[in-house]
Amino acid sequence: MKNKILLISLILFICFCLVVLFKGLNNSNVYIPETTNKIIKEFKSRSLFSDDEISSEKILVNSDYYILNIWASWCGPCRKEHPKLMELSKNPSVKLIGINYRDNLKNAKNFVKKFGNPYSVIFVDTNGIISIELGAYGVPETIIVNKDKKIIKKFIGYLDDKSFKELNSILK
Amino acid sequence: MKILKLFIIIIILITNFTKGNSNESKDNLVNKISKNIRCLICQGQSIYDSQSDFSISMRLVIKKKLEEGLTEKEIYDFLKDKYGQWITYEPEFNKKTFILWIMPILLFIIGGAILFNRLFVKKY
Amino acid sequence: MLANQIGYYSLILGLISSIIIIPISLKNYPQNNETINRKIISLSFFQFFFVLVSFIGLVFSFINSDFGNETVYNNSHTTKPLFYKISGTWGNHEGSLLLWLLVLTFFIFLFLVKSKSQPKKYRILTLLFQQIIIIGFFIFVLKTSNPFNYLFPTPKEGLGLNPILQDPALAIHPPILYLGFVGSSVVFSSSLAAVVQGYISKSWANHIKIWILISWFFLTIGILLGSIWAYYELGWGGFWFWDPVENVSLMPWLSLTALLHCILVLEKKTILTSWTITLSISTFVLSVSGTFLVRSGILNSVHTFANDPERGLFILFFLFFLIFLALIVFFVFHKNGNHETVKINFLSKETSILINNWFMMYFLSVVLIGTLYPIFLEVLTNEKISVGPPFYNKLILPFLVPFLIFMTFVPYLRWIKSEYNKIKIDIILLFILSFIVSFLLFKQFGFESLMISILIPFTFYLFLITAKDLLSKNKKNFSQKVSHFGFSFLVLSILLNSIFSSEIIINLKEGETFSFQGGAIKFHSLEENNGKNYKSIIGNFEIYDDKNQSIKLMPELRIYNQPSIVTSEADIKTTLFYDKFLVMNSVKNNEYFNVRYQLKSFMIWIWISTLILALGGFLSFTKRLYEK
């Protein structure tokens, strides 16, 4: 009797493990932390095209939505999503803010000269501290912020057609 | 019994001496913290072990936070707030992880009970 | 091309041999003759032979850089040195599984040849259980990971082997580790067969011990090589990271170590039978679980192979099939009644082995739960956590203290039993000595944590005790003394290493010097160099110590051409007491380099002591061969 209880509970336990591991196999390994609904804290840095130090508090005003886009000239996917950002910049209710991540400033300037500048301002983030404090992984990354400076959505990696649609639907 | 007393005295002596010795330099503290932070864009490496852009920036952030006067624990909390539990190698003790912490010790106790039973109680 | 074809068909022939062996064995099983049908042994040999041919076929494809073979294309390159072309054969998923199969078939053949003195039915049953495992792996290889897939048109050049895998220690690490894992499969099959036959007995223990020793020896060496590789190649000066993939090799080791101790009891008295079987089963189940966790990509680790969900699924079901098989056999056939009616004396060898098992199981449960818990939590609550070194240190270190204390008593158990009240003076002297040494060390350097301060004196004490035993004139249980000495030495080296190691991380430009307390680092110049399949930048560094003596260290940055990956090669100068470890990394958009200089104390002793630990197993093994 004692043995039977042991056997049955063992079998149940093993089946449980099997189911969990089976489900675990289908889980994706991509990890996106819960960061929405957080307020963006003030950050300061110099802008790419002028040497003055600017504060995010002065930039994050007078618009319904702000889009923070973290990019670098050395990053291939950034090049790929650039046309979409150019398109976005035509939207008047959105202010597009660039954060230039760990880049060579000369290359960064050439990049926007060559492909166009969608950003209303570009913060220089030479050592990556601003991006980390925003909770970013790397480049590219796109963060949508509402007028209360609350993060409402985050796209890790480059904006493909699907996420671009999603982004546009949020802005409407 | 004499040995036991000697034991205890020595242990107490040693533990008392260790306490005064926590003057770690800032760099060491950065290293220590970064060993416990996962590089999120790598495959299973810590910030300390990795040379990715993410890790290099993260080390700078840790240094900056220390200079701003945050304690080690406050830095972990700051990062967990930004990136979630996944980022630290030391899981918190909360209602979702208590099994993780307690279960091995529980098993140890159960094992000990079985062993005790086998050695002293059960008669063959 | 030809080698590829031969390899593929030979592999199928290997599977067919399995299908033939099973009915012949079943027919032979109930017959009353004493010996096993000779056909079975020859078939088993042919099976091994076919897999060997298949394996050699793959090796040839690698040597000839036959890119018509998908595996070769994905993992090799013409400019790769010959040595790494060969080791590339098992440096990938498909090839490494073929190696598993090779060892599986070899071991069962060896088992059949070497177990002639054992009962026939038991041998046949072992073979049958083993064939179930072998067939499982055959199907796995052929269905999901065929190493002989064609590519057409034939590519001109391969994709190359990840350069961090191009390392001598890693080249032999997988085969050695597999010898350990697969050895445990023989123990698994044999224990199931013995359960069915009611043959769990002293003579079974005596005969299976040799297989346990083999597995244990290779597993220990395999883990050691992996660790050495991590130290030299990953380039950040650690040797154990509590990475999930390392954990999955440690778990079977812990289980097997417990089994190794347990079988010593069973060899003398028919007790602990259920426990021995449980350990035999769990060791192999843990080995296969390891394969599952590593190959399915369910874990996030430095070492994961490229993964494919279909593979994960197959191993998962195969794993649970094996678990259920073992469970059913155990519950249906195992009778607990055939114990000798002995009460275990409290002060006996049996007690000490049970306590050893108790601790081993604890360490195992920590590692197992730490590795699996995040997977379970994610599935059940969708929350992702990491379990890393701090967790393991917190749960393992405190339990190491009683474990070490207990180990110091083991050799004296019998002695305590007879002369309860007399205490040997030299033991006390050693005890006091170890505390004095620890105290002096402590005064001089100061220890980081409380736990280490407590661990140090006991580790010293255990070290002295085991050393004294090793040197004593009584050569009884010599191999055990060697292993125990190796173990205490290992713990001591690891502790001292963690206490005395120091490091400096700085950014340096060519020509700069950085001075620190007790020395200086001078960055002389950069050199360029060309290797066979890489270009490299070599930094010329000079390290000065406090006596102004200097050594030259030349870390490298290698830029491999295929695949194009940059690796940093540390330069390490090893002496008896410390390693000087220097590694440099380029920093984007900057002319300076990130330089990491580490003084790692007693590094070499960690390797040597692990070797001594393994040597004990080897001695015990050779002694048994000699006795036979």
Which range, C133-137, C154-158, C411-415, is most confident? C133-137
Q: How far is A30 from chain B (nearest CA, A)?
A: 10
Position A13 scores a pLDDT of 95
Position A32 scores a pLDDT of 66
Q: What is the pLDDT of residues C422-445, one digit of tens each?
A: 557 777 888 889 888 888 888 777
Find chain B residues with C-beta within 8 A of A132's C-beta. 54, 57-58, 60-61, 82
Q: How far is C295 from chain A (nearest CA, A)?
A: 11
Assigned domain for A114 exists: yes
A128–B56 C-beta distance less than 8 A: yes
Which range, B56-65, C72-81, C165-174, C564-573, is most confident? B56-65
A129–B57 C-beta distance less than 8 A: yes
Output the furthest CA–CA distance in chain C (Å, rounded): 84
Position C447 scores a pLDDT of 65
Length of chain A: 172
Please, which chains are in contact with C (at least 3 CB pairs closer than 8 A)? A, B
Position C92 scores a pLDDT of 87
* CA dist list (Å): C362 to C370, C396, C607: 12, 9, 25
Q: Cα–Cα distance between B42 and B62 in angstroms, integer?
A: 18
Q: What is the pLDDT of residues C255-278, one digit of tens each?
A: 999 999 999 889 888 888 899 999
What six digits make up the tokens of A82? 């650039």
Is residue C618 within 8 Å of residue C217, measured between CB atoms?
A: yes
Q: How far is A131 from chain C (nearest CA, A)?
A: 17
Q: Kindly give the interhelix angle for A2-26 and C349-381, rounded to the nearest 10 degrees.
A: 50
How would you class B6 by CB atoms within 10 Å of its CB: exposed for 0-12, middle for 13-18, buried for 19 or more?
A: middle
Query: What single-letter amino acid sits at C126?
Result: T
Find chain C residues with C-beta within 8 A of B43's C-beta. 300-302, 304
| CA-wise closest residue to A40 among A154, A144, A134, A147 | A134
The residue among C626 and A94 whose pLDDT is bigger is A94
Find chain C residues with C-beta within 8 A of B124's C-beta. 339, 341-343
Return the residue of C nearest to A15 by Cα. C320
Position A24 scores a pLDDT of 87
């730490």: which residue's tokens? C370
The torsion defined by the Cα of C263, C267, C273 and C275, in degrees rounded to 10, comes to: -20
Res. B111: pLDDT tops 70: yes
Q: Cα–Cα distance between A158 and A142 in angstroms, integer?
A: 8
Q: How confident is the model at residue C615 (pLDDT cuts 50, 70, 90)?
A: very high
Which string of DSSP letters, residue by residue, matches C587-615? -TT-SSEEEEEEEEETHHHHHHHHHHHHH
Find chain C residues with C-beta within 8 A of B10's C-beta. 435, 439, 457
The number of beta carbons lying within 10 Å of the beta carbon of residue B104 is 24
- Chain-centroid distance of CA C22 in Å reads 32
**Among the ranges given (A31-35, A58-62, B1-5, C321-325), the one the predictor scored with the smallest mean pLDDT:** B1-5
Find chain C residues with C-beta within 8 A of A104's C-beta. 589
DSSP tag of C551? E
Q: What is the pLDDT of residues A116-170, one digit of tens each?
A: 999 999 999 988 899 998 888 888 899 999 888 888 888 888 888 888 998 888 8
**Which residues are CB-neighbours of B106 under 8 A, at least 6 positions away?**
none
Res. C523: pLDDT tops 90: yes
Q: Cα–Cα distance between C344 and B122 in angstroms, integer?
A: 10
Q: How confident is the model at residue B17 (pLDDT cuts 50, 70, 90)?
A: very low
Position C151 scores a pLDDT of 87
Q: Cα–Cα distance between B31 and B29 in angstroms, integer?
A: 5
Position C360 scores a pLDDT of 96
Q: Cα–Cα distance between C43 and C420 in angstroms, integer?
A: 59
The residue among A164 and C475 whose pLDDT is bigger is A164
The residue among C422 and A83 whose pLDDT is bigger is A83
Domain with A111 in it? 44-171
Find chain B residues with C-beta within 8 A of A133's C-beta. 61, 82
Pick from A11, A18, A25: CB nearest C298: A25
Query: What are residue A125's DSSP bridge partners?
Result: A101
B90–C390 C-beta distance less than 8 A: yes
Position C383 scores a pLDDT of 86
Position B23 scores a pLDDT of 41
Phi/psi at C276 (nearest 5 deg)?
-60, -45
Q: How far is A128 from chain B (nearest CA, A)?
A: 5
| CA-wise closest residue to B56 among C584, A129, A46 | A129
Q: What is the pLDDT of residues C48-104, one digit of tens each?
A: 999 999 999 999 999 999 898 989 998 888 888 899 999 989 988 899 999 999 999
Find chain B residues with C-beta within 8 A of C435's C-beta. 10
Q: Is A33 on the interface with B (CB under 8 A)?
A: yes
What six digits make up the tokens of C61? 């494809």
Q: How confident is the model at residue C540 (pLDDT cuts 50, 70, 90)?
A: very high
CATH number of the domain where residue A57 is located: 3.40.30.10
Q: Cα–Cα distance between A125 and B60 in angstroms, integer?
A: 12
* CA dist list (Å): C184 to C91, C109, C210: 22, 15, 11
Q: Is A153 left (phi over 0), alpha (psi -120 to 50) or beta?
A: beta
Res. B16: pLDDT tops 50: no
Which range, A101-110, A132-141, B18-27, C368-377, is most confident? C368-377
How many domains is chain A built from? Answer: 1
Q: How confident is the model at residue C165 (pLDDT cuts 50, 70, 90)?
A: confident
**Among the ranges given (B76-80, C56-60, C566-570), the one the predictor scored with the smallest mean pLDDT:** C566-570
Tell me the mean pLDDT in the region A4-33.
85
B83–A133 C-beta distance less than 8 A: no
* CA dist list (Å): C427 to C410, C424, C466, C469: 13, 6, 11, 11
B107–C365 C-beta distance less than 8 A: yes
**Which residues are CB-neighbours of C442 under 8 A, at least 6 positions away?**
B14, B17, B18, C453, C456
Tell me if residue C340 falls in helix, strand or coil: coil
Output Rg (C-alpha) for chain B, integer angstroms.
21
Q: How confident is the model at residue B21 (pLDDT cuts 50, 70, 90)?
A: very low
Phi/psi at C76 (nearest 5 deg)?
-135, 175
Q: Cα–Cα distance between C601 and C112 in angstroms, integer?
A: 47
| CA-wise closest residue to A58 among A121, A143, A109, A112 | A121
Output Rg (C-alpha) for chain C, integer angstroms.
27
Q: Is B110 on the interface with C (CB under 8 A)?
A: no
DSSP tag of C530? E
Share in percent of chain B as helix, strand, coil (round to 5): 65, 5, 30
Res. B97: pLDDT tops 80: yes
Q: Which CATH class is domain B21-90?
A: mainly alpha
C316–A18 C-beta distance less than 8 A: yes
Label the pairing between strands C593-601 and C519-530: unpaired
């992702």: which residue's tokens? C384
How would you class C13 by CB atoms within 10 Å of its CB: exposed for 0-12, middle for 13-18, buried for 19 or more?
A: middle
Find chain B residues with C-beta within 8 A of C506's C-beta. none
**Mean pLDDT computed over every residue of chain B:** 81
Res. C180: pLDDT tops 50: yes
Is residue B70 within 8 Å of residue A167, measured between CB atoms?
A: no
């009884």: which residue's tokens? C476
Interface test with B, best of C385, C441, C453, C454 (most B CBs within 10 A): C385
Q: Is B107 on the interface with A (CB under 8 A)?
A: no
Q: How far is A33 from chain B (nearest CA, A)?
A: 6
Is residue B31 within 8 Å of residue B49, measured between CB atoms?
A: no
Q: Cα–Cα distance between C127 and C132 in angstroms, integer?
A: 9
Position C411 scores a pLDDT of 66
Please, which chains are in contact with B (at least 3 CB pairs closer than 8 A)? A, C
The number of beta carbons lying within 10 Å of the beta carbon of residue A1 is 5
ipTM associated with this complex: 0.89
How would you class A10 by CB atoms within 10 Å of its CB: exposed for 0-12, middle for 13-18, buried for 19 or more?
A: middle
Is residue C549 within 8 Å of residue C535, measured between CB atoms?
A: no
Is residue C245 within 8 Å of residue C302, measured between CB atoms?
A: yes
Q: How far is A166 from chain C (nearest CA, A)?
A: 23
Q: Is A77 on the interface with B (CB under 8 A)?
A: no
Share in percent of chain C as helix, strand, coil (round to 5): 65, 10, 25
Q: How far is B114 from chain A (nearest CA, A)?
A: 15
pLDDT above 70 coverage of chain C, percent: 94
Return the residue of A nearest to B82 by Cα. A135
